A and B are shown apart, each in its own frame.
Chain A
Amino acid sequence: MNRYEFEDLISDYLEGKMTFKKIKEFESFLKNNEEYRILVNNVRNSISDLNGLDKVAVSNRFNEKLLSKLKNEKSININDDKNFFGFSPRDAAMFSTLCLFVIFLSYSLIDFENDFSPSLSESTRPIDENHQNFKSSKFRKGDNNFASDSPLDSLKKSDKKYKENKNNKIKFVNN
């Protein structure tokens, strides 16, 4: 048995997890090596020292303190759960204020447009009037080159004449 094998077996020997055959082999090795015998004794002593170390226990009020902490945690969670459509109360307030502002702004813009539209129609009125004045002006009288200026009846008459001529032509062909 070499040193490494021996070291691997110390715990098994001290905890009684060795076969009878192995124990015999191990003890015969110890008999011949005083240094290792001392080492085994020291390990045994330190294990018992470690076992003898004071065990710490939680205080009597451990569960009580824990439950009160949990209650506080729960109440914090409950407060966290209070939300409006996924928003925290503060964010919801800010968002709704912003929405109201946008609505107000768009409404006032529409209103602004309505205020200006009559004046715009008014601004177009003089053009129409000018146009009418131009049509009825002295410079335009006797000018028959403009179809728009000719009376509607005259257009109808010329149309009738054209149709009559057309009929005559057909008659001519037929004849």
Chain B
Amino acid sequence: MPLDKKRKKYSYTDEKLMSLFQGGDENAYIVLVNRYKDKLINFIYHYLKDPESAEDVVQETMIKLYQKKHYYKEIAKFSTWLYTIAKNLANTELRKRKNRKTTLLSHFSNDDNTYEIPSDDLEIGQHVQTDIVTEIIKKAINKLSEKFKTVIILRDIQEIPYEEISEIIGVPIGTVKSRINRARLQLQVELKHLRE
């Protein structure tokens, strides 16, 4: 294939690539994977807080994209569709974790042994200042409601433009702006002690 044609193919929109993939072009699938794998892992990571699990979820998302390619209709934005799959899979993973945690706790409650809980001071002492701040910020983000958390991750961490966020979460730009504003203010309440 001539290089020009190849380059032209790579500049296709997500929707065009998806239609090519639906037509049987597996190279289009690879392009979509490369285009979204890092965006998705950054998005998922803030829900799961574990890079390995986040990568597994991204892999699952990409497998779903491959298997369910014919379910995608061009009436919706491809990014909205893909992010929805990823978020649903992340939620499933979180539910699984919650169940596992409950099982573990029930195991512990039957155990009469006492455990010595290590002091927090020691752990804090091992971290540098930036790491502490990072942890506090991450905790503050996790305290936000689902819709605020999503927009904050997309806008302030991933630095995605408003228009794209609007497409991803499927709400008007005005709503995105308003949510981001509210989320930022709510975050200040959580981070108040950090600034004092």
**Contact status A63-B33, CB under 8 Å:** yes
Q: Does A110 contact B (CB under 8 A)?
A: no
* Interface contact A66-B38, CB-CB below 8 Å: no
Contacts of A45 in B (CB 8 A): 195
A27 at the interface (CB under 8 A from B): no
Given contacts A7-B181, A49-B137, contact A58 B188 (CB under 8 A): no
In the docked arrangement, what's the CA distance between A170 and B188, Å?
136
Residues of B within 8 A of A59 (CB): 55
Which B residues from 25 to 64 make CB contacts under 8 A with A?
30, 33-34, 37-38, 41-42, 45, 51, 54-55, 58-59, 62-63
A39 touches B33 (CB 8 A): no
Most buried by B among A12, A63, A65: A63
Q: Within 8 Å of chain A (Cβ to Cβ): is B163?
A: no
Q: Is A55 an interface residue (CB 8 A)?
A: yes
From B74-82, B85-93, B109-117, B151-159, the one touching the partner chain is B151-159
Distance to closest chain A CB from B145 (angstroms): 17
Overall SS of chain B's interface? helix
Q: Mark A42-66, 1 if CB is under 8 A from B, else 0.
A: 1101110111011111110011011
Check if A164 is an interface residue, CB within 8 A of chain B: no
Complex CA distance for A59 and B38, rounded to whole angstroms: 10
B63 touches A51 (CB 8 A): no
Is B108 an interface position by the 8 A CB rule? no
Number of A-B residue pairs, CB cutoff 8 Å, is 80
Do most interface residues of chain A lie in helix, strand or loop, or is the interface mixed?
helix
Cβ-defined contact, A73 with B67, below 8 A: yes
> A56: nearest residue on chain B (CB-CB)?
B45
Tell me the bound Cα distance from A131 to B9 in angstroms. 101
> Contact at A66–B33, with CB atoms within 8 Å?
yes
Q: How far is the CB of A55 from chain B (nearest CB, A)?
A: 6
Q: How far is the CB of B140 from chain A (nearest CB, A)?
A: 8
Residues in B whose Cβ lies below 8 Å from that of A47? 156, 184
A43-B184, A58-B37 in contact; A11/B177 too (CB < 8 A)? yes
Return chain B residues, CB-CB under 8 Å to A62.
37, 55, 58-59
Chain A residues with CB under 8 Å of B59's CB are: 62, 65-66, 69
* Residue A10 interfacial (CB < 8 Å): yes
- The answer to the question of B106 belonging to the interface, with a C-beta cut-off of 8 Å to chain A, is no
Q: How far is the CB of A47 from chain B (nearest CB, A)?
A: 5
Q: Smallest Cβ distance from A142 to chain B, in angstroms?
A: 99
Please report A residues at the B interface, Cβ cutoff 8 Å: 7-8, 10-12, 39, 42-43, 45-47, 49-51, 53-59, 62-63, 65-66, 69-70, 73
Q: List 25 A-B contacts (CB under 8 A).
A: A7-B185, A10-B184, A11-B180, A39-B185, A42-B188, A42-B191, A46-B184, A47-B156, A47-B184, A49-B134, A50-B141, A51-B156, A53-B157, A54-B134, A56-B42, A56-B51, A56-B54, A57-B41, A58-B38, A58-B55, A62-B58, A63-B30, A66-B59, A73-B63, A73-B66
